[in-house]
Amino acid sequence: MNTAPLPFPDALDAHSRLDRAQSRDGQPDVLFQAFDAVFADALDHRLFTVLSWSRAENHARRAYSSRPREYPVGASKPMGPTEWGTLVLKGGQTWFGRTPEDIRWAFPDHELIASLGCESCLNAPVLWNGEVLGAVSVLGPAGAYDERDLSLLEALAPRLVPALMP
């Protein structure tokens, strides 16, 4: 389990890495890949995804996946009608799934998630002007994350706004 908060210089480095990524050609993939790398370094995740959200269509579309074979980019998920969707996508709240039971509660594809060794999950909405544009998810083994990790994800999630703007 990650028990130490990300030291200030590392948080500053994360912001700097994302700044450099935003300035490069190849958006939004370059920014998504940089975000994935920051969280791979900080939290050693097993799955990292970014969803775009359409409130009008009430569904989420995968904009990025660290495991595109299992979770292909462009695939849609009917997450709006779920309790998780009500909390994160419609309500703009973070969510911390600490156990396999939490994962089952949140995601219809929980069996695939479990097959990847993911038993805990951090989610943060990407918000702009009071609206949810999408959500970012970091998944790993049971006990891998704590509240500070969720705070880091929540603090960096707004960096994805330009990549998810309609």
Looking at every residue in the chain, the average pLDDT score rounds to 91
Strands 95-97 and 47-54: unpaired
Per-residue pLDDT, averaged over 10-31, amounts to 91
Per-residue pLDDT of 98-156, as tens digits, reads 999 999 999 999 999 999 999 999 999 999 999 999 999 999 999 999 999 999 999 99
Q: Which CATH architecture has domain 8-164?
A: 2-Layer Sandwich (3.30)
Mean of pLDDT values over 70-94: 90
**pTM flag (> 0.85):** yes
* The predicted structure's pLDDT at residue 82: 86
What are the extents of the domains in the chain?
8-164
**Number of other CB atoms surrounding residue 55 within 10 Å:** 12
Q: Beta 120-128 vs 131-140: how paired, if at all?
A: antiparallel
